Amino acid sequence: MAAVSTSLRFGPSALLVRRSAVAARRLFCTEEGSAGAAACKPSLPKDRKNMKPREMVEYLDRYVIGQADAKRAVANALRNRWRRQQLEEELRAEIMPRNMLMVGPTGVGKTEIARRLAKLVEATKFTEVGFHGRDVDSIIRDLLEMAMTRQRSRLEDELRPKATEAAEEQILNALIGPMSAQSDKDTWLAHLRAKLLDDRQIKVEVPVTDNDLYPEWVGGGSDSRKPPQIRVIQVPVAGGAGSRQMEKRTMTVAEARQKLVQVHLDRMIDSDMILASAIRSTEQEGIVFVDEIDKICNSSKGFYHGSDASSEGVQRDLLPILEGSDVSTKHGNVNTDHILFICSGAFHSVKPGDMLAELQGRLPVRVTLSALTEHDFVRILTEPHHNLIEQHKVIISIAPSPPCRVCRVAIGNP
């Protein structure tokens, strides 16, 4: 394929992309495509766990050109995860996930499919840089941490209205006192919610942070120098899971509102409940995307293509996690029997058969992605949501004297 030379001519009406050795052959009106894209802006579905395979494929089609087989394979794998959750517990325990391996040259969409699905199903995504040369158990630990963050965020969203009311009540007491008449409280509350009092100074109780107690450690390097007994200060209180040591501090109403809402959220949320829910979610619904897995494979010819000679050891470390085992974390043990793994790699220097036989057996579904054609490159420029042409139109429009419009793209053939 001849080399492509791209020239941009910023006139009153044109953005021209052309091939250096030949005349332009096709004309595409990007304004029509932009209007269509604007009319149907993709958004994340509300019920993402209950999406049908067709809906997942349609969602991926908005961002990834071609690769229909790979899209259908990952969509079916994710749908089977939902189907399994609808079964009785005894039968559910017997159904194991069908881990997947996506093989294809660089740039065909493997990573983009994983990235979009990770956002869709809130899974974790690891590249070869993320697990090569470190403890592979960190994959499961990071998955659990993400589940805990997700569970806490969900509970905070549910409890935030109640926490906001409690914070407003505390701010009103600091402003006018707890014995004020109800009519006065209603008036001040209206002003508070209208943010007319945000600049007022009040004195409220807020948690004491470690930096407040030991300012000499601020910016002082590794936290390991701090005595372990001062990293977290917890004081049990009745009716809650615990609270941090409190002190009275003067601040603006705007600052107090933000801090007090978080204080009340911390008191309302049960950490043990979050942890139990996160472990259950990780074990039953966890999905891990492992990208660049070919970088830990050695050629069958006997010489190394990776960064070091420990690649086979990394494969052996991954093997028990894919087979199913208990991984120890600081929050408790996590069983990986039902975690779905989707691996991908270009396999330029090696081939999938160079992986350990046991590891190949734990990736029963294999999908080969096809190389991109010239027509695919044209579609990549014009069809995906927020495509390159759309991006450049927005960037150019921010200039002091932007062009009137960008009307056409000319792409030739060799």
| Predicted pLDDT of residue 285 | 86
| Predicted pLDDT of residue 317 | 87
| Predicted pLDDT of residue 297 | 84
Read off the amino acid at residue 399.
A
Helix (H) or strand (E) holding 366, with range, is strand 365-368
Q: How far apart are CA 114 and CA 109, in angstroms?
A: 9
Task: Please give the sequence-ordered ranges of beta strands (E in DSSP) within 198-298, or none if there are none.
Answer: 201-207, 246-252, 287-290
Reduced to 3 states (helix: H, G, I; strand: E, B; else coil), residue 135 is coil
The tokens for 299 are: 């050629």
Q: What is the pTM of this model?
A: 0.71
Q: Which of 293, 286, 283 shows the shortest CA–CA distance to 318?
A: 293
The tokens for 281 are: 């979610």
The tokens for 75 are: 């969509």
The phi and psi torsions of 403 (rounded to 5 degrees) equal -65, 155
Is 262 in contact with 316 (CB distance < 8 Å)? no
| Predicted pLDDT of residue 364 | 93
Q: How far apart are CA 90 and CA 156, in angstroms?
A: 33
- Tell me, rounded to whole angstroms, the distance of Cα 306 from its chain centroid: 28
The phi and psi torsions of 110 (rounded to 5 degrees) equal -60, -55
Q: How far apart are CA 25 and CA 23, in angstroms?
A: 6
Which residues of the chain fall short of a pLDDT of 70? 1-48, 122-134, 209-244, 300-310, 403-414
Q: How far apart are CA 102 and CA 369, in angstroms?
A: 7
Q: How far apart are CA 40 and CA 33, in angstroms?
A: 11
Q: How far apart are CA 25 and CA 413, in angstroms?
A: 7
Q: How far apart are CA 405 and CA 384, in angstroms?
A: 20
Domains of the chain (ranges; CATH) run 7-41+385-414 (no CATH), 48-123+286-373 (3.40.50.300), 147-218+229-273 (no CATH)
